[in-house]
Structure 1
Amino acid sequence: MTSNEPPLYERDRAAWHEYLAEGNARQARKRVGADALIRNDRGEVLLVDPSYKPDWDLPGGMVEHNEPPRQAAERELREELGLELSLGPMLVVDWVAPHGPWDDSLMFVFDGGILDARQIRPLRAADPEIRAFRFYSLTHAATILRPYVWRRLEQALAAVADGTARYLHTL
């Protein structure tokens, strides 16, 4: 190729498309989840009790095919709690190693901000996937969350405090 020749993808778009399609078919696909860190004016955090797992969790859920993670978290909040919220910045991305029957995954946490009483009052468990929801103190949250979810929550709070997003690596 001479320096005046356009790159391959500009010369032969069909070949470039075929190359990308082949790579897309062979490369790993990641499971992705998206949660929200939501607080009240007392510094408590909103947690949910999912019906499909034995422990409490951050509100959010799994990203659907070709859905952006922030949109997924907003959709899950709407579907599960009836909460219309525009989420703020990404606070944490956590790579979770394969475990049990699950392949590895990427878990995002976005800033849901601080809700006031007017925003909290209409919350409801709007989906059978959610048995209950509640704002908990950090002390109590540490006792009901899985250790790696607690670590994700702690790091999300630290990211809010200093404005620096975190990358975690959960084994």
Structure 2
Amino acid sequence: MNPDAPLYQRDPEAWRAHLAEGNRTQPRKRVSADVLFRDSYGRLLLVDPQYKPDWDLPGGMAAANEPPLAAAIREVGEELSLTWAGGDLLVVDWVTPHDPWDDLLAFVFDGGVLTADQQQAIRLGDGELSAVRFCTTVEASRLLRPYVWRRVQQALDAIRSGRAYYLHDGERS
């Protein structure tokens, strides 16, 4: 074997060990996956988590190695007892570190307009939520944390424009 050949050609097992060490030591990203559902009046579906003071969109944190869309589908099922097949990506928001959290990639998917039957089927499922309600954008702007509201505004704009946006703390670059 050529001693000048790259490591991956000379010693595949050493190369694999090198990659594994890089995987072990490189930073990890937290990932959240939320869904923007609306009703026929254009109101937004918000949830009231018991574990934090502010309202939020349905969704939550992705598990290790779980794709963001799969996390959103799972969370909607767990939180709202709804079967949702997934929707288009509206925004990806890089959220800067904020005490005590490291940075975060927040995905928001389009949940579409829920029918009356789908709305009637909503049941608080996993014990994390104390309430769910449809809100006007004015109400949502008051109930959501400011950076979450900025993200929701950009997601609504993505629906109108037909294109997804990359955000930094809720703002387009």
1:50–1:130: 8 Å Cα contact kept in structure 2? yes
Structure-2 residue corresponding to 1:139: 138
2:121 partner SS? coil
What is the identity percentage for the equivalent residue pairs of Structure 1 and Structure 2? Answer: 58
TM superposition score normalised by structure 1 = 0.92
For 2:120 and 2:88, how far apart are their aligned partners in 1? 25
Q: Quick one: structure 1 residues 6 and 110, their matched pair in 2 at CA, closer, same or farther if it must change by over 3 Å?
A: farther
TM superposition score normalised by structure 2 = 0.91
What aligned pairs does 1:1-171 form with structure 2 within 5 A after superposition?
8-9=7-8, 12-170=11-169
List alignment gaps of at least 5 residues for structure 2.
none
CA deviations 1:57-99 (Å, max 9, x no partner) are: 0110000011001000110000011011011111111111111
List structure 1 runs of 4+ shifted beyond 6 angstroms.
Answer: none
CA deviations 1:135-163 (Å, max 9, x no partner) are: 11111111111110001101111111111
Deviation at 1:11? Answer: 5.2
1:87–1:113: 8 Å Cα contact kept in structure 2? no
Deviation at 1:10? Answer: 5.0
Deviation at 1:102? Answer: 0.8
Amino acid across the alignment from 1:12: D
Aligned residues: 168
